[in-house]
Amino acid sequence: MHPPRVVLHVGLPKTGTTFLQGLLAENRDRLRTAGVLYPFVRPGAMFHGAVEIRGSHAKFGLTADEVAGTWAALCDRARSFAGTTVLSHEVLAGATPGQVAAALAPLAGLEVHVVVTARDLGRQATAHWQEEVKLGATFSFAEFERDQLRADTGPDAGPDAGGVRPHFWHAQDFADCLRRWSAGLPADRAHLVVGPPPGAPADELWRRFADAAGIDARLVDASSAPPANPSLGTAEVALLRAVNARLAASPGGRLDPATYNRVVKRAYAEGVLAARPGPRPRAPDDLGDTLRTASDRWVSDVLAAGHRLHGDPADLAPVLAGPGDPGPDRVELVDDPAEVAAQLISQVAAAPADGSSAEPGHDPAARRPWWSGRGRRRD
């Protein structure tokens, strides 16, 4: 008899991970019947397990006790299941070698495969920038380009050389992620899934991921699944940057991470701003050479290491704005940041101590949130 098989999907962030996790969760029963387990320990367990491994609970407004033991519980489910178990969360992508070893230790003796999903660096650049803004940052894309995208991307910039690698390059280097997570594994058990280009069939990412994970793609109908974790428009990112600056300058100071994540990131940014129509930011055309050179080098590293590639590497060509198109910072605000910040603060102040209705728009006495219908784009 073969030992249980475990697929660790460790990211990268903003590569369709939420979409894939949603499909796995929605089809959990059907997959289990076919010999594929996407374990449910409790709501948020995959996230908590990843945070436990990374030791990053404070960043997400959690306590060590809230996440303690979650990863072991997930691994116990995998050890007791005779088929294939999939564990997935993008927080795992940035794990250090020591954290990787800690994550793999409870899976010793099992057939472990590591899957990394990647997407072209043009879309990743704007996605990474706006994700930082959704976590409270106020810097412009021009500043992000100067401090991260144009910074040294080679190995001499990394910690091994005594330097500090810019966060974007550490987070998006799929070759380095595979290198860290596949240490000690046979080379062919590390898989790179290439994210499809814009306009590809809705189920293409699922089919590539299923091929890497050894799952029959026909078990899940991914063609009609709604897009997960939609991005913000150019105007909305600019507004959120301004709101973050107002919140930081308010008399009460910055919101604590748990409150910010609940009220600003999830309820306002992802629940309201992401739903507004309008153009999404694109990285400037003159970044093409920098981004293309990096991704081409990483693909070469993956192939040279003997890892398996799923999808067409040509799909990693950076998606960029056209020559002369306005950059992500050239936009006019459609809302008053001071008013938005004041209303967010008032929502926090009016919430009960347990935070049960702290999210704007979740007051059962009100059918519509205070910003409903406001600040809609005029184009």
Q: Which of 35, 102, 46 is nearest to 74 (CA)?
A: 46
Predicted pLDDT at 369: 40
Does residue 263 register a pLDDT over 90?
A: yes
- Give the model's confidence band at 59: pLDDT under 50 very low, under 70 low, under 90 confident, else very high: confident
Confidence of residue 227 (pLDDT cuts 50, 70, 90): low
- The confidence score (pLDDT) of residue 48 equals 98
Q: List the structure tokens of 251.
A: 């008399």
What does the pLDDT average to over 58-70? 93
Q: For position 175, what pLDDT does the model report? A: 97
pLDDT of residue 83 exceeding 50, the answer is yes
Q: What's the 3-state SS for the chain? A: CCCCEEEEECCCCCCCHHHHHHHHHHCHHHHHHCCEECCCCCCCHHHHHHHHHHCCCHHHCCCHHHHCCHHHHHHHHHHCCCCEEEEECHHHHHCCHHHHHHHHHHHCCCEEEEEEEECCHHHHHHHHHHHHHHCCCCCCHHHHHHHHHCCCCCHHHCHHHCCCCCHHHHHHCHHHHHHHHCCCCCHHHEEEEECCCCCCCCCHHHHHHHHHHCCCHHHCCCCCCCCCCCCCCHHHHHHHHHHHHHHHHCCCCCCCHHHHHHHHHHHHHHCCHHHCCCCCCCCCHHHHHHHHHHHHHHHHHHHHCCCEEECCHHHHCCCCCCCCCCCCCCCCCCCCHHHHHHHHHHHHHHCCCCCCCCCCCCCCCCCCCCCCCCCCCCC
Residue 98 pLDDT exceeds 60: yes
Q: What is the pLDDT of residue 257?
A: 86
Asked, for residue 26, whether it belongs to a domain, the answer is yes
Would you say residue 24 lies in a domain?
Answer: yes
Indicate if 42 and 172 belong to the same structural domain: yes
Number of domains in the chain: 2
Model pLDDT, residue 223: 82
- Report the C-alpha gap between 373 and 367 in whole angstroms: 13
pLDDT at 356 over 80: no
Report whether pLDDT(358) > 60: no
Pair (155, 121) in one structural domain:
yes
Domain-located, residue 327: no
pLDDT for 378 beyond 50: no
Residue 322 is assigned to a structural domain of this protein: no
**274 and 162 both lie in a single domain:** no
The pLDDT score that the predictor gives to residue 82 is 94
Same domain? 121 vs 270:
no
Judged by average pLDDT, the poorest of 72-86, 99-113, 335-349 is 335-349
Residues 217 and 362 in one domain: no
In the prediction, which pLDDT does 165 show?
A: 84
Q: Rounded mean pLDDT of 258-264?
A: 91
Same domain? For 264 and 305 the reply is no
Does 187 lie in the same domain as 41? Answer: yes
Question: 223 and 210, same structural domain?
Answer: yes
Domain CATH number, residue 223: 3.40.50
pLDDT at 374 over 60: no
Same domain, 296 and 378: no
Structure confidence at residue 1 as a pLDDT band (50, 70, 90): low
Res. 22 pLDDT band, cuts 50 70 90: very high
pLDDT digits (tens, 9 = 90+) for 133-182: 999 999 999 999 999 999 865 555 544 444 578 999 999 999 999 999 99
Residues 360 and 376 in one domain: yes
User: Is the residue at 190 inside a domain?
Assistant: yes
pLDDT of residue 296: 97
Q: Read off the pLDDT of each residue in 356-362 and give the average, rounded to a whole number.
A: 37
Proportion of the chain above pLDDT 70, given as a percent: 87
Mean pLDDT over all residues of the chain?
88
Q: Tell whether 48 is covered by a domain.
A: yes
**Is residue 324, in this structure, part of any structural domain at all?**
no
Q: Does residue 72 lie in a domain region?
A: yes
Q: What is the pLDDT of residue 357?
A: 39
**Same domain for 18 and 77?**
yes
Average pLDDT (293-307) is 97
At residue 170, φ and ψ (nearest 5 deg) are -65, -40
Whether residue 363 is predicted with pLDDT greater than 60 in this model: the reply is no
The pTM of the full predicted model, rounded to 2 decimals, is 0.87
Predicted pLDDT of residue 361: 33
Higher pLDDT, 61 or 353: 61
pLDDT tens, 183-220? 989 999 999 999 999 999 999 999 999 999 999 999 99
261 and 147 housed in the same domain: no
Per-residue model confidence (pLDDT) at position 253: 66
pLDDT of amino acid 350: 76
- Show the domain range for 237: 232-279+334-379
